[in-house]
A and B are shown apart, each in its own frame.
Chain A
């Protein structure tokens, strides 16, 4: 309410500024002219002459010239008599002020303003309960804390995965480096650093990242994440067999139908299609596999699985005859909790496999086995 009152007062003041001069009597307004300048110049010529700076003849010539201008200016000033009968014009001007100022005010403020929002100075805003806060707010709090105490390694460690998830990759790398420097090296920290560097480099495992993974593996040769990335590095260098060897080892240890195993198999399929298929048979999960999958942060795992699913769907769109592929896709959607997509995939599979009764039968069985209504 106060705000609207202030707005109204401001608008009124703006209109008044225009109306006020319109209402004043003519003749009260001051105004100079160039006459003063020419008189001044005449004085100056006199001074110059007296000071001996110019000769008498020149002074006389200048005097004549300036006097001529002076007369011309005087004539011009006389010509400019105020025009009569401006009442209508002034009223029109006043009406214009009455319309234009509020109209502009409303038009622009209505499109850009936010009158309902109160002031929110930082000091007046006590930090609300953690649970109610947005990610950005939490990040900001941790950042503020770290700006004051940059030596708090734990803070960096908390912040790093959040950065990664927010796509602030370079900052994620820095946070990982800080955590490593302040808290000391552990295999997990080294591997996380390597992972962040790789993410920041568009997925390329650089020398620096590789070094980090190597340090992790030196301390813990079975470190899954580090091993996975070493495989990726090998793939990127064109050493497909080595990549396949590393990943095969990881798949063998992984819990069969866990997203981690699916993801690994997908990676393996890139470098060794036949080997991947051979390993797609389920094998019993081990405690170690569960731990390995858990090592991956949930958001990374999610991203990895999603990437895998997309690629699989893409392949099936081009070649729909692979019934096992379809089953994997449906299962993956279910794992991700996307029941509708799973159903859609099953439908698409049926359409793609039409005409091959044997394959449709296998598909239906598998889909039923997954608990999805045919």
Chain B
């Protein structure tokens, strides 16, 4: 083989691998990506039942109801809309009323069936998506002053 041919083989195989990778990435991006939504988004975008999404917001205080066999129901709210969530299993340590939560699962009419409920190992952790969604809805607890005002309302 001449130098040129060798170089062609090298470049050719390189392109082949890149092509393979690109194909993999594109398929994966089409099939495996999950969109993040707040309860309001779910209503506004009219997301079709059966879609797999991530739902983020705050656990509505007083909404946690435990059933048989580790079944749990609670509501996720962004301040405007609340969406009931059903989950079976053990909730993370940091799952608490009024705290941020991200649940992944399938949307059904009027109910979100979660198979994963996420929590992080940081107690001040507010999932980024949740914070954004809450800010969008204007329910972000920014600072002490606002809390103070809230108290005298």
Contacts and interface: CB of A to CB of B under 8 A. Distances in A.
Q: Determine whether A and B are in direct contact in the complex, meaning some CB atoms lie less than 8 angstroms apart.
A: yes
Interface of A: 167, 169, 198-204, 206-208, 303-304, 306-308
A303 B62 CA distance: 28
A304 B149 CA distance: 9
A308 B153 CA distance: 9
Interface stretch (B27-35, B43-51, B83-91, B140-148): B140-148
A303 B147 contact: no
Given A201-B98, A304-B152, A167 B61 contact: no
Given A167-B144, A167-B147, A169-B147, A203 B152 contact: yes
Residue among A203, A304, A306 facing the most chain B CB atoms (10 A cut-off): A203
B67 interface: no
B121 interface: no
Chain B interface: which size bin?
A: 10 to 19
A203 B62 contact: no
A202 B151 CA distance: 6
B151 to A, nearest CB: 5
A206 B60 CA distance: 10
B62 A207 contact: yes
A290 B125 CA distance: 44
Contacts of A204: 150
B152 A201 contact: no
A307 B146 contact: no
A207 B64 CA distance: 12
Contacts of B141: 202
A199 B149 CA distance: 9
A198 B151 CA distance: 7
Nearest to B99: A170
A202 B152 contact: no
Contacts of B151: 198-199, 203, 303
A198 B152 CA distance: 10
